[in-house]
Chains A and B, each alone.
Chain A
């Protein structure tokens, strides 16, 4: 299916904090086709600054009261010029939106457990994945690390879906103090020999590396969503490459926009 490129009206831009917002876009055609882990390319419409769109995991597929799909949202964190502009958008503003793009997460079913590991804004792809896993009735845990308790978002959303929450913050104000990989390793260690878990990860690169290596060390598979500077989202520009190694082959630089952003954690090569 070809991606859709539309000028989408901003339905809401909920500021969760001085840095984070959830930008909701009227894009029913994009929402209807989105699979968990896929992304959209987004920028304010009709401007040359920014010139290029930026990639964002689809955060939520939006529905009205009847359940009809009305659009998608993205979880935006102010980091640079482009994300600042998106943070400042108001209802009625227009965003150019291309998607859905990329390879999705593959949901697992019982008896395999699903463990989603999110760091900060890396929460983004897990709302849609949690919904898909709930449909599969998969036992799902969210390991979610943030800097502060105030930056742990959408906890109610995941609880409503029956997701078990394991939280960490840097100062220990909520959940365990320290890195999210600590409780993840404890859980991996506690897995029975007959148990199996699929580890899903999205977040800062050092966290992704640690999660993929932990999963491999405990002989569990992982699916990792990477983030790279991206030009086009369609495979045209070769900006967003990551080193990937299949079996005994030499590592190849592959385009994360079309071969990813979700990769088998065991096949990613870390610097």
Chain B
């Protein structure tokens, strides 16, 4: 019997839990030659505002221990060009497309979502209320419980597409934000966005990236992200989509055991763009070894019994 890797996020069923994370996969089509987009559970577009944006001047990234700091600044083509130029091609390729929606105001979030609601071939909206790299909008909503509730409520009324707020880890208690999103009608939450970070060139005493501050991603953040997913899983009933430093099948399983229904893979696309089929094979191998018929049975199946103090 073929392994069942499918997972459900509200009304949405994905053939497997692997989703390409926003900002790490272009508009998907950049990776067309590298991976069959229909093999992925889904892809999340780069963050889109109503209009085009140029983003920050380079240098925009710097590598750090087992990770990287980025401040791209949400360079993007705007929602209209996305719908016209990218979406038809993504549809042709059978990609399940999540669109990452940004806004500088509550109205902009609503308007962008309305444009997307009229388009064909969108699986869900991921609300970006957590980008650490732009001054206006976004994070202002994501760092306030009221702001989170208000923007999710407004978008909820504007679209019938599944709404998935992407949460920032740069708060004291991320689970309370997941709860605010749930109360406002979110279909799921995704977390974590990047950790606010900075790096200094000690020779020049200047910042290593032009924006000074940026977001830390990569394997370095994974244990913190796993902890945050577990906290959210315990507090909310809606599905949690986990991410943060996933590199292989074991990392995916770690997030799922902590309560993630699906996962997103971001930085690893830069490290190994051909990783997707390897991760899928690794999940099937685990299911065989552990006699798991349905991968979704592992969601939250974490056993908190303390480990033995010595090697077996």
Contacts and interface: CB of A to CB of B under 8 A. Distances in A.
Interface in B20-71: 23-26, 30-31, 33-34, 46, 54-55, 58-63, 65-68, 70
A2 B60 CA distance: 26
Most buried by A among B59, B68, B273: B273
B269 A232 contact: yes
A228 B34 contact: no
A238 B60 contact: yes
Contact of B31 (A1, A229, A231, A236): A236
A51 B61 CA distance: 13
Given A236-B30, A238-B75, A51 B60 contact: no
Given A5-B274, A241-B60, A253 B30 contact: no
Contacts of A234: 26, 30-31, 34, 273
Most buried by B among A48, A51, A231: A51
A240 B270 CA distance: 13
Nearest to A2: B33
Q: Is the interface of B mostly helix, strand, loop or mixed?
A: loop
Interface residues of B, number: 33
Contacts of B271: 51-53
B188 interface: no
B61 A229 contact: yes
Nearest to A48: B66
A98 interface: yes
Interface residues of A, number: 29
Given A231-B270, A238-B72, A253-B75, A50 B63 contact: yes
A237 B70 contact: yes
B49 to A, nearest CB: 15
Interface string B253-290: 00000000000000101111110000000000000000
Contacts of A1: 33
Q: Is the interface of A mostly helix, strand, loop or mixed?
A: loop
Contact of B68 (A52, A82, A238): A52
B218 interface: yes
B30 A240 contact: no
A234 B67 CA distance: 19
Nearest to B268: A51
B197 to A, nearest CB: 14
A4 B46 CA distance: 25
B58 A228 contact: yes
A195 interface: no
A98 B63 contact: no
A3 interface: yes
6 contacts: A1-B33, A52-B270, A235-B26, A238-B60, A239-B70, A252-B54
Interface of A: 1-3, 5, 48-53, 82, 96, 98, 228-229, 231-232, 234-242, 252-253, 258
Task: Rank and list the top 4 A-B pairs by shortest CB-CB distance, nearest first.
Answer: A2-B33, A235-B30, A232-B270, A239-B61
